[in-house]
Structure 1
Amino acid sequence: MNISRKANLLFRALIFVLVTCCCFSACIPVKVKDWPTGKPFLYDSKIELNKDNLSKDEDKLLEATLANYWVDSLRLPVVQKYIIIKKIIHPPVFDSINIVKSEKLMNSYLSSQGYYQAVFTDSVSIDSTTHPGQKRVSVSLNIDPRKPMVIDSLGYSFKDTLLQKVALAAYKKSKIIPHKTRFTKEAVANELDRLIVLYRNMGYYKLSRNNLIAEVDTTDAALLKLTLDPFEQALKMAQTAARRKENPSAVIIIKQREPSDTLLVNSSKEDFVQYKMGKVNFFPETYLNEIPDSSLLHLDKFPDVFSTRNRFVSIYSREKKFIPRPMLEHLYFKHGDLYQDSSFFKTINNLNVIGSWQQVDYINRIQGDSLNTNIFMVPATKQNITADLEGSWNTGDFISSTNMFGVAVNLTYKNRNVWHRAIQSITNLRNGVELNIANTGLTNDLLQTLQIAGSHSYSFPRFITPFFKIRGKKLDAVSTVLTVNGSYTDRKDYFRLRSFVANWGYEWKKGNSNWQFRPVNFELYSLDTLRLLDTAMKYNPYLTKAFNTGKVISQQLNYNISFPNSRIPGSNYLRFAFEESGAIVGLIKSLHDQIYNYVRLEGEYIKHYDFRKTQFAFRGFAGIGVNYGSTGKFGLTLPFFKQFVAGGPNSMRAWNLRQLGLGSNLQSDTSSSFRDRYGDMQLEMNLEYRYPIFTVGSVKVNGALFTDIGNVWNVKKDPDLPNAEFNINRLGKDVAIAMGTGIRMDFNYVVIRVDFGLKLKDPARLENGGWMSLKNFTWRNDEFANVIPPNPITGKQLYRNNYAVQLGIGLPF
């Protein structure tokens, strides 16, 4: 009781200190150290932005970015100590010329964003009386960006009739929208790049952005009309100036660049020639330091040369390490085709991602109107073996509440060129044990768990289908993957679990999206329950369902895509996964009661906003699975190894792994022998603000503030588990909320983090509607102290904490 009261007082004192710091930190004056004696020095510099013509997003972006364009002499060297104390150390001597330099830099940035009429007004004040001996200079810069210039119209004027025809035909695909798109260097450059991509995919191999020019006209067309009345002309000029100030606009016309020198005429003409694909030479056994030009000059030194029937494709080998098929199947253009950037670099990139070659380069040679291609491929190390050691400390597992030390050894063998066909194979062996170091288990045996697992996979660099052939010309990184793995786990006196999993599937990329489809996925599980688990099942019948085993014959489809933010720097990641089991094979009567029948769907979205020093991260997750089987053997839920769980270092961080849910059901929280929760549905949202703290050597120590919101539920109602199923009317009661902070140590190659989470709202908390009370806060929840009996297996009393400390590797999302 004394410890609980002291912890309570400590927590209240911590909250009081944090609130006090937040309230009074702004009131504490900034101290100055080591200022230049007798000279005016910089004490404050700020930007005041006129927001009349800015949206909220534009305002935030400009405020965050413009501050980066102060010259170094107008940047304050502020150091923050003890959270609330700020110091300016070695402030720079003030020089008014630096204001002019800063304005030029800021104006250049605003012009790049379309603000060409920005007005700058600076003011400088010197305080030499408040602090004797100091001449503190405060600089204030008022910036009125005015309205941004927009593109009034976009046109093309190419002398080449084909280029003009193509540009006009693809006009609708331009991202420039007249009267809406801002006139910026980026917008014009993107339009030039779009045309170059279009032309280079039509045979214009030598064409580049340097061959095109964008002419910009900001003159009002009304001024071009002739008039003899000078007063009318003056009136038009005044009206035009007013319109430009109110709604500045520009007309863009894209043309062929004229040669600046007569010596460049021939070169310019060649740039506008369409080229066709000529001969292709592969060199799949190129040495790492080999000079490509030397190989081309000594083709007679290659003892083995393979050529296609038309003699347009040749493969030069020294030791016949690779058969021709992998190269021919990844050649995405034919002799006589017009050159295309897309098909050419698709060939190079797909040869690179196979994995059999560590480097793929090329040299193109022009011969008349043909382009001959030479592809040089440096083989990767064919075979290698790696070993790694894993360790973990498990305190209080879901059955015995013992302290065990786990250690595992992994051996991995990789072959990058199986049967000379560029097939990748990976063999993995794993052997792990859990040791009862502290001698706290029900038995005194040192060895508590033994696990042996092995897997083997083949990745074929093409689609292999039984009835028809798929080339996949529009896809990248295509492969067919066969995987087989098995495992054996012996948990002494609890259970013996055997598993066998085999699947056949296809993987491919399209743009920045990745797909994986497994039409056949077979999973078989076999479980032997031993005496201690049988005892636990007597006290908790839910264990019988949790350890149910059977066969899974399913189809799986996975999709993910990554893409950048549109305005504020950052990234997005979107993932979907779908699995169905039993729909087809389950029709076989002899297998009807042996196969799980279920549908499972999940989706995840992660978004990052990257600021100059900080980052804001968001994650949303939703998953649901439905057991539609008619047999009662497998119950109403998904198999436990397919269900959703919450808690741990990457989920609801105020709860330990599998210790949240189901819904607001209290059965697991009041159980004395089994507290793990598995659900058929999960909703979760995570928000995290990441910021730097300090750096020690090459190690960056960062901090984070986070909140986690979510829970897991069942889909179908179970009378034995009241309030465990999802109900939209009970969502406010069921949802759990965590808040906390964390420390992250970034070693460049690995990030180690420690997160501390508080249960701000716990569905299993009876008092205050589940919300944490600051007035009656305790580190341990004793609401069920008189309800929960001691563990029947270990004889120990179990308890519930109002917090959790998580140790993780890498960022949570």
Structure 2
Amino acid sequence: MRHLKRISLYFFTSLLLSGCLGTKYLKEDENLLFKQNIKVGKAIDSDDLEQLYAQEPNRQFPLIPFAPYVWFYYWGKKSYDIEKYQAKKAEIAGKFSKKIKAAEKRSKRIKLERKQRRKLAKIDKTIEEGNTLMRWGEPLAVYDSSLTQSTIDRFELYLDSKGYFHSKIKHKTSSIGSRISSTYIIDEGPAYIVDTLFTQTGDSAITELLKKTEKKSHLKTGENYEQGNITKERERIDLLLKDNGYFNFSRQYVQFEVDTAFRESHNVAIKTLINRPSKRDRHKVFHVDSINFITDANVKSLPDSMRITEQYKGVSYRYYDPQYSKKVLNRRVFIRKDSLYSKSRSYNTQRQLANLDHFRFININYDSSGGKLIANIFTSPLSRYQWTNEVGINVTQGYPGPFYNISFKKRNIFKGLEIFEMNGRIGIEGVASVSGAEEVYRSVESGVNASLTFPQFILPISSSLKERLGQVNPKTRLLAGYTYTNRPEYQRNNTNFSNTYSWQNSRNTSYQVTLTDVSLIESSVDSTFGARLNQLERNGNRLINTFRPSLVTSMSANATWNFNSYGLNFSNSSFLRVFLESGGTTLNFINTEFLERESLEFYKFYKINIDFRKINPINKNTTIAYRVNAGYANPYGENGILPYEKYFFAGGSNGIRAWRPRRLGPGSFVEIDTLTNEVNYDFEQPGEIIFEGSIELRKNLIGFIDYAFFVDFGNTWTIEVDESRPGAEFNPKTFFEQLAVGTGFGLRFDFSFLVLRLDAGLKVYDPARPLEKRFILNEGFYDAPFTRDATEPIIFNIGIGYPF
């Protein structure tokens, strides 16, 4: 052990002294900017200030003074010869020019020109940004005092924008050898408060409009002055006026005068000015004179005079062929004849027409040249028939396997903008057996379904209400489908019918209500798994019933809030989903003897699931992602069980990654292998309660490769005592002691079209072990899973996309 410590100390010292930070690339009289920090009061967000650095230190590995990106940059620079790339560019350009000139067919010339542009663009990128290694890396951060002054200037502008006009910034440096640490000490001083607000418009109508909406103003007395609020207020006024008929208004007419003359009291007076147009005394209010809707723009090279024109509720519809229901289209048009011009209504019209999935493009413009405001809506239809084929790799809770999807879509099937779809899918995946975790088996899932989607609610409601509902993208979807699942221990056939209503109150919020969801399920199990189910039944667990012929009926509601496009970017964003389901509700009001005569298992239950996710960027290369998922499912029927698909399971690549898929829990239940006397993780463990969460630090490693450190925690439980699984029931006083904890490291390969994920999970706290052995590293690396006889070593997970 002593010898090992000496080797480690020698290695670490060598690492520091060998220039791993890239100091060997420094020239004489140059210093390396090693690190920098900010000391500021709590009133100022230091994270915002850190984004304003004019110079940044080189990125390092966590906890290790090692800058690999500098190595990459200078390694690539050794082979970077700009003259060589320029000569190669000229050679490729000449080579393709000859081929293009010699090509007889126009299609071949176009293909060659496209290929030439692609190759030349690649070389141009190398010339401008360096070769691949240089782009992966970064040049040495040589300390530059002029950039330090630029940083101070930026800080001062930021503090002024927050109302700290008397801030003072000091800068000091410390050095160790050629490494410099930079510190900015900020005294923000007193904040200026908005004391008085004035408005000057020269137009009584605008003054009255601003007065009516002053509660929505971003400028309020008594609050700190902030430049960002002035920008927001300019945007608010611009949209407010454009929504009230001021078609020609623009934000350039809005100005603000900020008076900080009251320096002793640190108060600010702000005057809002609405300037008059240069050619008129006041801004003109426009009413919509007429509305033209062309449904087939750019479809045929025929004169416009051949289009048919029909009027419907103030809209002039024009087309060559009467394809669409004017009644349904009109419910997505919110521009009204003789109404005030409204920018928001125009935008909502464009968005809701796009949501119909019938048009290639939607363009709305206004013509005011004749003194009257004419709204023109141009749409170009998508193909009525559409085939889609998709082949790829599928990973849900196991190992990768191929899948194939085929779908057929027919639009406007009844000329009411309906969509008929048929989808077929077959996928193969490697999964651990329900009754064995050591081997990987092939799981096959295939299915076919047909759906019919209407762009309205198919309900007995009035036409006027349907028109109002057009603003929330209402849809009714009828679906019938069949799914076949073949796993090593069971085969399952599921015939399903559902009726779902969906709508969106805003771009961030969507809802789904399924009034009818009926599934007829037939299963068969193999002898080993059947013996396991029989054993559970003898101990009072009736899980075997879920593999008998079953009828599952339910109603459900699903609400989703997606803020700032969660999952599509790495900005500060969040996601919340709430799911409610009631199973067998209608069976409470009918005689179920006919189901018993048919030997059909049926279920009564209710279920709730809440899933919250958040991404918080720290800097341009680092984000922290969080997730909390909780669920409760209570069977209240005579059989006291849930359909197998309705249970909660913990563990796997999208859950607690230190446990194999569906193997964690429930509670502190533990099954001991009689041969090894170790914890047995062989069997799937369904639960009725779930609580799990994850924290993941994601950083860019190099190029398209990211890495992540994560901590997962959670478990499942049963509601009642389960004699076959002691310790499985939920107890509000002790459930925290039964939260499993796992940690690990992962790599993400971001290929833009998909993200391949590799995670290695390590158990930290296992509630299935005896109390004194629940912390896995109680005995350091001499404890499982590092010993040879460990039940489960580090768990490796493969996934497509991010875990959450």
TM-score of the superposed pair, with normalisation by structure 2? 0.79
| Partner residue in 2 for 1:161 | 204
Residues in 1 aligned to 2:147 and 2:780: alpha-carbon distance in whole angstroms:
57
The letter for the 1-side match of 2:404 is V
Question: Does residue 254 of the first structure (1) align with residue 266 of the second (2)?
Answer: no
Residue deviations 1:427-450 (CA, integer Å, cap 9, x gap): 1112456899xxxx9xxxxx9876
| Partner residue in 2 for 1:333 | 335
Q: Does the Cα contact within 8 Å between 2:680 and 2:791 map onto a contact in 1? A: no
The equivalent position to 2:230 in structure 1, one of 188, 202, 227, is 188
Q: Does the Cα contact within 8 Å between 1:540 and 1:673 map onto a contact in 2? A: no
| Partner residue in 2 for 1:106 | 155
Q: Which one is further off, 405-414 or 574-583?
A: 405-414
Q: Which one is further off, 614-623 or 727-736?
A: 727-736
2:368 is paired with a residue whose SS is strand
2:232 is paired with a residue whose SS is helix
Change (3 A) 1:142 1:313: same
| Partner residue in 2 for 1:85 | 66
Counting only pairs closer than 5 Å after superposition, residues 390-539 of structure 1 correspond to structure 2 as: 390=392, 407-432=402-427, 451-466=445-460, 468-469=462-463, 470-471=465-466, 473=468, 475-489=471-485, 495-511=490-506, 512-529=508-525, 531=527, 533-539=529-535
2:296 is paired with a residue whose SS is coil
| Partner residue in 2 for 1:603 | 610
The equivalent position to 2:298 in structure 1, one of 275, 287, 295, is 287
Question: Does residue 356 of the first structure (1) align with residue 358 of the second (2)?
Answer: yes
Residue deviations 1:256-290 (CA, integer Å, cap 9, x gap): 1145xxxx223x73xx2222122111111112799
Change (3 A) 1:743 1:137: closer
Residues in 2 aligned to 1:378 and 1:386: alpha-carbon distance in whole angstroms:
21
Residues in 2 aligned to 1:217 and 1:110: alpha-carbon distance in whole angstroms:
17
The letter for the 1-side match of 2:46 is K
Residue deviations 1:350-395 (CA, integer Å, cap 9, x gap): 0011111121002211266642111111212322222233557999
The equivalent position to 1:771 in structure 2, one of 770, 775, 778, is 775
Residues in 2 aligned to 1:157 and 1:376: alpha-carbon distance in whole angstroms:
39
CA shift for structure 1 position 805: 0.7
Change (3 A) 1:770 1:389: same
The letter for the 2-side match of 1:105 is R
| Partner residue in 2 for 1:559 | 559
Q: Does the Cα contact within 8 Å between 1:548 and 1:639 map onto a contact in 2? A: no
The equivalent position to 2:256 in structure 1, one of 214, 219, 226, is 214
The letter for the 2-side match of 1:740 is G
The letter for the 2-side match of 1:151 is V
Counting only pairs closer than 5 Å after superposition, residues 602-681 of structure 1 correspond to structure 2 as: 602-610=609-617, 611-629=619-637, 631-632=638-639, 636-667=640-671, 675-681=683-689
1:589 is paired with a residue whose SS is coil
Residues in 1 aligned to 2:396 and 2:800: alpha-carbon distance in whole angstroms:
16
Residues in 2 aligned to 1:23 and 1:729: alpha-carbon distance in whole angstroms:
52
The equivalent position to 1:300 in structure 2, one of 275, 297, 305, is 305
- In structure 1, stretches of 5+ residues that fail to align are 1-8, 221-239, 398-403, 442-446, 786-798
Residues in 1 aligned to 2:497 and 2:651: alpha-carbon distance in whole angstroms:
29
Counting only pairs closer than 5 Å after superposition, residues 774-793 of structure 1 correspond to structure 2 as: 774-775=778-779, 777=781
CA shift for structure 1 position 323: 3.5
The letter for the 1-side match of 2:154 is L
Q: Does the Cα contact within 8 Å between 1:464 and 1:480 map onto a contact in 2? A: yes
The letter for the 1-side match of 2:374 is N
| Partner residue in 2 for 1:727 | 731
CA shift for structure 1 position 724: 0.8
The letter for the 1-side match of 2:510 is N
Q: Which one is further off, 582-591 or 759-768?
A: 582-591
| Partner residue in 2 for 1:43 | 32
The letter for the 1-side match of 2:685 is R
The alignment-based identity, stated in percent, is 22
Residues in 2 aligned to 1:126 and 1:453: alpha-carbon distance in whole angstroms:
67
2:468 is paired with a residue whose SS is coil
Question: Does residue 807 of the first structure (1) align with residue 798 of the second (2)?
Answer: yes
Question: Does residue 689 of the first structure (1) align with residue 689 of the second (2)?
Answer: no
Change (3 A) 1:172 1:681: same
Residues in 1 aligned to 2:353 and 2:231: alpha-carbon distance in whole angstroms:
31
The letter for the 2-side match of 1:41 is E
Residues in 1 aligned to 2:143 and 2:149: alpha-carbon distance in whole angstroms:
13
RMSD across aligned positions (CA)? 4.0
| Partner residue in 1 for 2:52 | 66
Change (3 A) 1:330 1:587: same
CA shift for structure 1 position 343: 2.1
1:526 is paired with a residue whose SS is strand
The letter for the 2-side match of 1:459 is T
Change (3 A) 1:126 1:448: closer
Residues in 1 aligned to 2:32 and 2:357: alpha-carbon distance in whole angstroms:
57
1:206 is paired with a residue whose SS is coil
Residues in 2 aligned to 1:139 and 1:405: alpha-carbon distance in whole angstroms:
48
CA shift for structure 1 position 154: 2.6
CA shift for structure 1 position 637: 3.2
Residues in 1 aligned to 2:460 and 2:659: alpha-carbon distance in whole angstroms:
48
- In structure 2, stretches of 5+ residues that fail to align are 75-138
CA shift for structure 1 position 80: 6.3
Residues in 2 aligned to 1:754 and 1:199: alpha-carbon distance in whole angstroms:
52
Change (3 A) 1:675 1:472: farther
The letter for the 2-side match of 1:694 is I
Question: Does residue 276 of the first structure (1) align with residue 287 of the second (2)?
Answer: yes
The letter for the 2-side match of 1:274 is V
CA shift for structure 1 position 306: 2.3
Q: Which one is further off, 340-349 or 773-782?
A: 773-782
CA shift for structure 1 position 412: 1.3
Change (3 A) 1:97 1:757: closer
